[in-house]
Amino acid sequence: MKQLISFTKKEFRHILRDRRTLLIVFAMPVVLVILFGFAITNDIKNAEIAILDNSNDNLSTGIINKLTSSGYFIKVKTLQSNNELQQVFRDGQIKLAVVFPEKFSESYTHNNKAQVQLIADASDLNTATILINYANSIILNYQQDISKSTSNKTLFDTTIKMLYNPEMKSVFMFVPGVLALIMLIVSAMMTAVTLAKEKEMGTFRVLTVSPLKPSTIIIGKVIPYLALSLINACIIIILSMFIFKMPIHGSLFLMFIVCIVFLLTAVSLGIMISSMVDTQQTAIIVSIIGLFLPTILLSGFIFPIDNMPFILQILCQIFPAKWFIEAIKNVMIKGTGIENVWLQILVLNLMTMVFITVSIKKFRQRNA
Amino acid sequence: MNTIIADKLTKRFGDFTAVDNITFEVGKGEIFGFLGANGAGKTTAMRMLCGLLGPTSGKATVAGFDVYKQSEKIKRNIGYMSQKFSLYNDLTVKENIEFYGTVYGLTRLQIKEKTTKLLERLQMISEKNKFVKDLPLGWKQKISFSVAILHEPKIVFLDEPTGGVDPITRRQFWELIYETADEGTTVFVTTHYMDEAEYCNRVSIMVDGRIDALGSPQYLKQKYNATSMDEVFYMLARETATK
């Protein structure tokens, strides 16, 4: 026990005296959250649009007002003819054009049918889709409003309700991903690097010759990084609650459990990596290729897993981050209880056991 | 009583025999040089003696404990220092001593006493709170060695301890080794500096996993009709090459 305390103390000293480590541990989560929250966002705000209004009547101006007052669109250009359309899109001045045909209002009242044309710049497909959807729903809403006030024509009444994230803020999607990323960096990569460092410096050999038990060495190594990761997780959650007004629907305790489970997986991954490499450099490279790229690309963090080809979907299952993100989203955003996250917790725990077994085998092989 | 006894000690990795039937004894307070080219099997043999690696066959006891069954007890009774210093650069001298002290199960009081004694002996009291990385190489080695014998082990294993330092610093380092041996600690040292081999009481020279020569430097020089250990070493190496 005394040995363990002394080991942990030494480990904390290493961390606190290394500016690089401190920077990774404390500055990175803040930077990532803010980056993902503000800069890298799928939200549409103030998208530039152009209007080509060939009829200029009550109805068309009504729709235009509705669109521009929604906060999603800004009218930057009023066009006079179809010929101008090509040009404005090519210049990249606008993302979307709304075109009203001649006699718009008339055809609406007489034929009970009117067409608005939405033209979007699909060279940026995601934005185009989102803009079209937004505009579409605003126009539909407007249509409902006027049909109610004028007469009782029955129209299709589509109401859309965005569950769990009514404002469709993408920061809600990013926070779980950032959590996963940070915990992997601090727990997995740092554990791998610090063990590799002892090997590189030759102190690892001295430790193995000493009466210290291997378990004491590993636990002593891991405790500080576990603690730091937890602090980090708190920083990220607090930031997202207060800066991005992210609501937390589930129980904090369950969130905590999910984080701990994932941390253990991350740490055992780090130990496994360090059991296979001898230098800090290799540890870092392996961590980046083996941990971060899959976490960013194949965990549902940025790209939805359901849209991936079948093979990739299968591949996604082997990355711990995917299970963690699922679980934390369920608890944090949907507010579900243990009944909806036990599977994820189980899978993560199984992964931890596999990683630990592999590392013990590897360590034995190398020392035998 | 001999502190290290190896009897037909052998280690095989698959088809490769790293250590081939080595037999030797090292007495209490003796400085025993373990020589050999890289890949001759020195490190493997030493790891078996430290209780890190189980032998394939043969017998060995270290500090009276069996290498097969009592490796934990062996670890408590030996000290170890390698070429790479064993100290943490980002800890101070005092913190390093404290850390290794607790690792070897010393009490806080013992550590405190020993720290003072150690620093006085090395005349480094004023450097106590300096980071190890700021000290010159020679000092680091001396502290490293002193830390390795902090818990008063019966045997201290030195794995190429003087790599990378100039002959003068090496000489000073050896004075420390002599003092330790005089106090009854057995010193087991691997090296490939042949001038260092001359400082040992007895040396063994390993070639291809076997011990090809064993005896005092004086005796070996006479036997091979050589003027220095360097010559002895080359003669042995050439002998094997022509075989």
B2-85+155-242 has which fold?
A: Rossmann fold (3.40.50)
Q: What is the mean pLDDT of residues A310-321?
A: 87
Does residue A228 sit in the same domain as residue A177? yes
What are the residue boundaries of the structural domains of chain B, listed by start?
2-85+155-242
The verdict on a CB contact (< 8 Å) between A367 and B53 is yes
Does residue A127 sit in the same domain as residue A254? no
Indicate the pLDDT class of residue A368, thresholds 50, 70 and 90: very low
Position A158 in a domain = no
CB of A197 within 8 Å of a chain B CB? The answer is no
Does residue A26 sit in the same domain as residue A141? no
Answer with the one of A91, A120, A150 that is the final residue of a domain. Answer: A150
User: So what's the pLDDT on residue A324?
Assistant: 92
CATH number, position A125: 3.40.1710.10
The verdict on a CB contact (< 8 Å) between B75 and A209 is yes
Indicate the pLDDT class of residue A40, thresholds 50, 70 and 90: low
CB of A215 within 8 Å of a chain B CB? The answer is no
User: So what's the pLDDT on residue A34?
Assistant: 80
Distance CA A324, CA A184 (A): 11
Position A160 in a domain = no
Does residue A71 sit in the same domain as residue A12? no
Q: Domain range holding A220?
A: 2-40+169-367
Q: What is the mean pLDDT of residues A79-91?
A: 84
Model pLDDT for residues A322-347, shown as the tens digit of each residue: 899 889 888 888 888 888 889 999 99
Which residues does A124 contact at the CB level (< 8 Å), separation at least 6? A95
ipTM above 0.90, yes or no: no
The verdict on a CB contact (< 8 Å) between B105 and A209 is no
Where does residue A126 rank: exposed (0-12), middle (13-18), buried (19+ CB within 10 A)?
A: exposed
User: So what's the pLDDT on residue A168?
Assistant: 57
Does residue A79 sit in the same domain as residue A216? no
**Angle at CA of residue A196, ends A193 and A201, nearest 5°:** 120
**Tokens representing A108?**
């609406």
Q: Which of A150-154, A284-288, A292-296 has the highest mean pLDDT?
A: A284-288
Q: Is the pLDDT of residue A352 over 50?
A: yes
Bigger pLDDT: A165 or A284? A284
The verdict on a CB contact (< 8 Å) between B87 and A203 is yes
Of B7, B50, B3, B46, nearest to B27 (Cα)?
B3
The domain tally of chain A equals 2
Position A213 in a domain = yes
User: So what's the pLDDT on residue A122?
Assistant: 80
* Contact in structure between B9 and B60 (CB atoms under 8 Å): yes
Q: Is the pLDDT of residue A111 over 80?
A: no
**Residues of chain A above pLDDT 70, percent:** 91
Within chain B, strands assigned E span: 2-13, 16-27, 31-36, 57-62, 65-66, 78-82, 155-159, 186-191, 202-207, 210-215
Instruction: Using CB atoms, pick whichever of B52, B88, B105 lies closest to residue A211.
Output: B105
Of A47, A40, A37, A36, nearest to A133 (Cα)?
A47
Position A263 in a domain = yes
Output Rg (C-alpha) for chain B, integer angstroms: 18
User: So what's the pLDDT on residue A171?
Assistant: 64
Burial profile A26-44: b = 16 or more Cβ within 10 angstroms, e = fewer: eebbeebbeebbeeeeeeb
- Give A 302-321 residues with CB within 8 A of chain B: none
Does residue A245 sit in the same domain as residue A118? no
C-alpha distances out from residue A66 to A72, A100, A231, Å: 10, 14, 45
How many C-beta atoms surround the C-beta of residue A292 within 10 A?
16
Answer with the one of A150, A185, A209 that is the final residue of a domain. Answer: A150
Residue to substitute from A11, A210, A213, interface B, most B β-carbons within 10 A? A210
Does residue A131 sit in the same domain as residue A204? no
CB of A11 within 8 Å of a chain B CB? The answer is no
* Contact in structure between B236 and B213 (CB atoms under 8 Å): yes
CB pairs under 8 A between A and B: 68
Model pLDDT for residues A195-254, shown as the tens digit of each residue: 898 888 888 888 888 888 888 888 888 889 888 888 888 888 888 888 877 778 888 899
Does residue A32 sit in the same domain as residue A52? no
Indicate the pLDDT class of residue A75, thresholds 50, 70 and 90: confident
User: So what's the pLDDT on residue B97?
Assistant: 93
* Tokens 């210093």 found at: B85
* Contact in structure between A282 and A196 (CB atoms under 8 Å): yes
Indicate the pLDDT class of residue B78, thresholds 50, 70 and 90: very high
CB of A10 within 8 Å of a chain B CB? The answer is yes
Answer with the one of A117, A150, A183 that is the final residue of a domain. Answer: A150
Does residue A212 sit in the same domain as residue A287? yes
The rounded mean pLDDT for chain A is 83
C-alpha distances out from residue A263 to A181, A259, A293, A296, Å: 11, 6, 18, 17
Burial profile B37-51: b = 16 or more Cβ within 10 angstroms, e = fewer: beebbbbbbbbbbbb
Q: What residues in A contact B75, CB-CB < 8 Å?
A: 209-211
- Side-chain-side CA neighbours of B126 within 13 Å: the count stands at 1
Strands B202-207 and B186-191, sheet pairing:
unpaired
Position A161 in a domain = no
CB of A201 within 8 Å of a chain B CB? The answer is yes
User: So what's the pLDDT on residue A120?
Assistant: 85
User: So what's the pLDDT on residue A162?
Assistant: 60
Model pLDDT for residues B206-228, shown as the tens digit of each residue: 888 888 888 998 898 888 888 88
Position A295 in a domain = yes
* Stated length of chain B: 243
Q: What residues in B contact A368, CB-CB < 8 Å?
A: 53-54
Instruction: Using CB atoms, pick whichever of B80, B99, B102 lies closest to residue A209.
Output: B80
Which residue of B lies nearest to A17 if distances are taken between CA atoms?
B90
C-alpha distances out from residue B45 to B5, B40, B56, Å: 12, 10, 11
User: What is residue B18's DSSP assignment?
Assistant: E
Instruction: Using CB atoms, pick whichever of A6, A202, A367 lies closest to residue B102.
Output: A6
Alpha helices in chain A (DSSP H): 2-17, 19-22, 28-34, 58-68, 82-91, 104-111, 125-150, 171-183, 190-201, 203-209, 214-242, 252-276, 280-287, 293-297, 310-316, 320-329, 342-367
**Angle at CA of residue A351, ends A345 and A357, nearest 5°:** 140
Does residue A228 sit in the same domain as residue A362? yes
Position A157 in a domain = no
Indicate the pLDDT class of residue B66, thresholds 50, 70 and 90: very high
Model pLDDT for residues A143-191, shown as the tens digit of each residue: 877 776 665 454 454 555 666 666 656 667 778 888 888 888 888 888 8
Q: Is the pLDDT of residue B237 over 60?
A: yes
Bigger pLDDT: A159 or A46? A46
